[in-house]
Amino acid sequence: MTGGTRAVVGIVGPGRAGTAIVTAMVEAGWSVGPVAGRGPDREAVGSAADRWAGAAVSVAEVAPAADMVVIGTPDREIESVARAIAPTVRPDTLVLHLSGARGLDVLAGLPCRVGALHPLQTFAARFDASRVAGSWCAITGDPQVEELARAIGMTPFALNDDDRASYHAAACLASNHLVTLMAQVEATTTVPLEAFGPLVRATIDNVMVMGPAPALTGPVARGDFDSVRRHLAALPPGERDAYLAMARRTAVLAGREFDLGGAPS
């Protein structure tokens, strides 16, 4: 953006990630133009257009008026969005997707600049940009992607397309699987889930400061497999496989042999 001109961003897919990034862009001086989704009459498209004083349009109409197009759709829809905007996109426009699992190949048919920016963050609500600044993000493609990331307060790191599957798996472990683990905590005891909040936060803080192995505590780390056997006997049968899988991985981290003998399964 130069000479006082507000660059225009168009968005396809105004979900939680897309609206968080675009909201941060608006706060950094961008103007929102076209907004598209599964149809211009969809509630999510209309509410985003109203919020940003943009225009609710079809996907095919997004590109001509935009200096940047942010694609925040599910991964399986990115290629179809690229095909829809290809006939009208300007050569100097940057088309950017927010997927962690997909690379630049999904944008290969576009006659313009392309890139990818995946926020290494979870967003609880649409239009909530409070977690954007301070978060890390995986970037690739046009140099403007890095410029954008830094302008909205993120810490970018380059990610090769060949490394995306392992990176995205790690992100799922860090976020999605943590949620599932907390659901298992909730299913295992009558103690309120909120009681475990300070323990979880302190554990994550320890891991970030010390690293996983030094932060490890508990019966497996101590070699107390009698306690592990008692845990398994007390757990609901449907929770035992997940517990065992994590206990085995914990033993590897602790450098201990894992052998429960005749434990319940």
Judge whether 186 lies within some domain.
yes
What radius of gyration, in Å, describes the C-alpha atoms of the chain?
Answer: 23
What was the pLDDT predicted at 48?
Answer: 95
Statement to judge: residues 55 and 150 lie in one domain = yes
> Which domain CATH number covers 17?
3.40.50.720
SS3 119: strand
What was the pLDDT predicted at 131?
Answer: 96
Full residue range of the structural domain in which residue 121 is found: 8-161
Cα separation, 8 vs 196, in Å, equals 45
Statement to judge: residues 14 and 135 lie in one domain = yes
**Crossing angle for the helix pair 176-188 and 164-174, to the nearest 10 degrees:** 30
Residue that terminates a domain, selected from 134, 161, 188: 161
**Crossing angle for the helix pair 176-188 and 237-254, to the nearest 10 degrees:** 120
Number of domains in the chain: 2
Statement to judge: residues 152 and 192 lie in one domain = no
pTM attached to this predicted model: 0.90
Statement to judge: residues 109 and 213 lie in one domain = no
Statement to judge: residues 130 and 183 lie in one domain = no
Beta-bridge partner residues of 117: 139
Residue that terminates a domain, selected from 101, 129, 161: 161
What was the pLDDT predicted at 4?
Answer: 52
Statement to judge: residues 99 and 216 lie in one domain = no
Statement to judge: residues 145 and 181 lie in one domain = no
DSSP 112: S
Statement to judge: residues 20 and 144 lie in one domain = yes
Show the CA angle centred on residue 28, arms to residues 25 and 33, nearest 5°: 45
Residue that terminates a domain, selected from 161, 194, 215: 161
Residue located via tokens 């070699």: 223
Statement to judge: residues 145 and 201 lie in one domain = no
Task: Report the helix count and the strand count for the chain, using DSSP H and E.
Answer: 11, 8
> Which domain CATH number covers 197?
1.10.1040
Statement to judge: residues 186 and 135 lie in one domain = no
Judge whether 222 lies within some domain.
yes
What was the pLDDT predicted at 38?
Answer: 87
Judge whether 3 lies within some domain.
no
What was the pLDDT predicted at 5?
Answer: 66
pLDDT tens column, 13-62: 999 999 999 999 999 999 999 999 988 889 999 999 999 999 999 999 99
Cα separation, 100 vs 118, in Å, equals 5
For residue 90, give every residue at least 6 positions away whose Cβ sits within 8 Å of its Cβ, in sequence order, or none.
63, 64, 112
Residues of the chain with pLDDT under 50: 1-3, 262-265
